[in-house]
Amino acid sequence: MDRRHLFKTGLAAAGLTALPTLARADTPIVPIRVNEPDVFRTTVCLRPFRAAGPRIETETVGRKIVVHNYGHGGSGWSLSWGSAEAAVKLAMQSSPEKIAVIGAGALGLTAAITAQRAGADVTIYAKERFPFVRSARATGTWSPDSRVAKESAVDAGFADRWERMARTSLAFHRGFVGLGGNPVEWLDQYMLRRNPSPPPGTPEPPSTDEDPGFIYLEDRLRDVVPRSHAYQGPHPFDAAEVRRLSQMTFNVASYCHQLESDFLAAGGRFETMEFHSPSDLSRLKEKVVINCTGYGARALWKDESITPVRGQIVWLVPQPDVHYGFYARGLLVLARRDGIVVQATGGEMSGWNDDNESPDPEAAKAALETLKGVFLPA
């Protein structure tokens, strides 16, 4: 989620009519221990952005019926179940007994399970599985309209389709809350300001970032998404203003394991296969194929409408007494159970059209130095 939108929906969300924030006893907020030896990896993920939004439509390729399901920008995990429902509805129009799914990431796994529930025998074909899929490098926060489309490029029905996908996905994600391994859970997140907010009605200072024109639709979910509130309890942050909200979070390692297990338990199969062009689909025995190749669709389908948006994450080892998230000083931090995510979000155009998947060590060090400064001296 970009910086400007995060503050709009987080710091200003108190004015929305939304689900009430439940009163609860505050638990101590333990500062994150920031030591470079605790970094166990630095990853780069390319978000597959399409100005017109996700591609969910049918195409005939030779004798195959291909349903495309890719191009979700930074909202792949968040929209996965609703997107799968829309794609599988198209795939089942010919009542196939067998369906092939290409891709074993978030979109592929949820599409495969959804097709199984619709009665199909499903095989997932992919070059890689978790933990090597791009979905494994996701930030892991519920962000259904994060770089999902451009307002100037979507059609008239996009907002309604997006809302259906978001609400369907939210319902499915909630079904994983409380399961062993915590694949999905609610996490306290804090928005921090170094200076107090200006009085209500004060015009926002002009942004120095180029505005890419992303569409923001999260207000459509204000009846089902918790709102933020001013946090008055003790905290370790070097901040003049703190707001807190509950945010749905994906512990991606556990979630992927859960989805793979569910798929296999229902009779699904994985087959290792690499695709270089649409003609390679002729090797599949299934007539109906759901294409969930994410950023890989740019090369496979020669789809130049996909723009890579690069994001780098520094991973710190989990700390048992640290379990929250925050946004401050251009950093999005999530203390997940499978690792502490530290991502420098940069400006609105950060990572735009950058397909370099090699980690940047200097940027990683800078992010950790910024993280240290978020907390008050001990």
- What is the strand order of the sheet 98-102 is part of? 55-61, 64-70, 288-291, 98-102, 121-126, 269-272
CA distances 170 to 81, 93, 99, 247, 250, Å, are 8, 25, 25, 12, 12
Under the banding of pLDDT at 50, 70 and 90, the label for residue 346 is confident
Mean pLDDT (the chain) is 91
Q: pLDDT tens digit string along 123-143?
A: 999 999 999 999 999 999 999
The interaxial angle of helices 76-91 and 106-117, nearest 10 deg, is: 40
What's the pLDDT tens digit per position in 34-53?
A: 999 999 999 999 999 999 99
Domain residue spans in the chain?
A: 3-374
pLDDT tens readout for residues 140-179: 999 999 999 999 999 999 999 999 999 999 999 999 999 9
Cis previous bond, 131, omega within 30:
yes
- C-alpha 72: how far from its chain's center? 9
What digits encode the pLDDT tens for the residues 3-21? 445 544 443 444 433 444 4
Alpha-carbon dihedral sign for residues 46, 49, 55, 56: positive
Predicted confidence band of residue 200 (pLDDT cuts 50, 70, 90): confident
- Phi, psi dihedral angles at 177 (to 5 degrees): -70, 130
Token pair for residue 320? 């048992």
H or E stretch including 69? strand 64-70
Question: Average pLDDT for residues 358-366, to the nearest whole number?
Answer: 97
Structure token digits, residue 146: 């994060």
Q: With contact defined as beta carbons under 8 Å apart, do 308 and 353 qualify?
A: yes
